[in-house]
Amino acid sequence: MNAFEALGLNEQLIQSITDLGFETPTPIQEQAIPVLLSGTTDFVGLAQTGTGKTAAFGLPLLQLIEKGERHPQALIVCPTKGTLSSDY
């Protein structure tokens, strides 16, 4: 059994995670995924770079999106490092 299954993720996501070679969730994933799957809309998770924060937030988001809905269901804000330059 894939350890992600115990966090409450559905079979389709478990299969995708397994296909990508992931077997064990990181600490931020273990803590965030069950809380986010419960439907909470406010969550702050802090962890070092490279610890799986994107999956910790993204996997529950994918599971909770209702197929067929034609209205926005999620907002993804992408942080930037540093300041923007006028050269862009």
pLDDT of residue 86: 54
Q: Are 2 and 25 in contact (CB under 8 A)?
A: no
pLDDT of residue 74: 84
Tens of pLDDT, residue by residue over 41-57, are: 788 988 998 999 999 99
Q: Which residue has the tokens 């992408």?
A: 78
Q: How far is CA 74 from CA 15, 30, 43, 57, in A?
A: 23, 22, 14, 11
11: its two tokens: 């079979």
Q: How far is CA 62 from CA 32, 67, 79, in A?
A: 14, 10, 20
Tens of pLDDT, residue by residue over 9-53, are: 999 999 999 999 999 999 999 999 999 999 887 889 889 989 999
